[in-house]
Amino acid sequence: MLAVALGASVAQAADKYLPFVLASESAGGVADQLDATKNALTANGFEIAGEYSPFKGAHIVVVTNDELKAAAKGDRGGYIAAQRVSLTEMGGKVQVSYTNPFYMAKAYRVASDLKATSAALKKALGHKKDFGPEEGLTVSKLGKYHYTFGMEYFDEPLELARAGSRDQLVNTIEKNLAAKKGGAMKVYRIDIPGTTQTLIGVGMKAPNEGKKYMDETFIMSEIDFKPTRSTAHLPYEILVNGNEAEALHARFRIAINFPDLSMMGDNSFMNIMSTPDAIKDLLTAVAGGESSGDDF
């Protein structure tokens, strides 16, 4: 009976999933690993959609492939088209990590389990451990996740803007990102074949202290404080679907990657209470919508 109980416990634990994968950890810095990381990704079937350094000691490479684009063809499935790989310097070492494709697929409610993508990432970069919150989430909880009462679900996005056509909307976003409107910058763009969806990655750097709540460095300094860094949380994204632009609400987008973030105290949601509205204002302005911000 004890053996049966232990077996059931292991099965239950195996049914919970974490948002990130630590691929490797080695001495050196980002520059020592970046070229090898990108070469390994392309050698294993990935297309590099874009890359950037959100802050000192960190670099993010955004990739896609045929399986991801195919999975993205469902309703609002475009978010899954991008997988994020991060290189982060910590304590004289560089951590190479990436978003867990299975976790993201279930959180973004797509049909595919992305087994080929998971296998390709493991082959390209390695797999030391999954990480994130102390306790993972089940498939059932991922599919209907929200942090707590009153906070948004996946299907309650920010409605940023509308235009006469998809091309008009994408062109407006491209123009505003090129101008670094409000401190936003383009990281990547992925057009989903066979759909009217385009996923655009947006880096965010505050133009002044008064806008710090939309700044990636500030946000990550508050929410990403564990020894194994979750830098692959970045960047945020805008999804163009036909003539409409949307974004995941920050209260969902942050919580799905940091579900154990406390509500109050040090390193808590309380410390970034103004961040969701700040991100909303910035992304709305970038998409050409009406923002409550007065200097975007």
Q: Where in the sequence is the domain holding 222, given as residue range(s)?
A: 18-287
- pLDDT tens for each residue of the chain, 296 residues long: 555 554 554 444 548 999 999 999 999 999 999 999 999 999 999 999 999 999 999 999 999 999 999 999 988 999 999 999 999 999 999 999 999 999 999 999 999 999 999 999 999 999 999 999 999 999 999 999 999 989 999 999 999 999 999 999 999 999 999 999 999 999 999 999 999 999 999 999 999 999 999 999 999 999 999 999 999 999 999 999 999 999 999 999 999 999 999 998 888 888 999 999 999 999 999 999 987 655 55
Q: How many domains does the chain have?
A: 1
- Residue 38 in contact with residue 61, Cβ under 8 Å? yes
Tell me the CATH number at 225.
Answer: 3.30.310.70
212 within some domain:
yes
8 within some domain:
no
> Based on the number of CB atoms within 10 Å of its own CB, is 137 exposed (0-12), middle (13-18) or buried (19 or more)?
buried
10 within some domain:
no
9 within some domain:
no
The token pair at 43 is 């050698």
Q: For residue 201, what are the β-bridge partners?
A: 188, 237
60 within some domain:
yes
User: Which residue spans within 205-289 are E strands per DSSP?
Assistant: 236-241, 244-247
92 within some domain:
yes
Packed helices 275-287 and 166-178: angle between N→C axes, nearest 10 degrees: 110
12 within some domain:
no
pTM beyond 0.85: yes
1 within some domain:
no
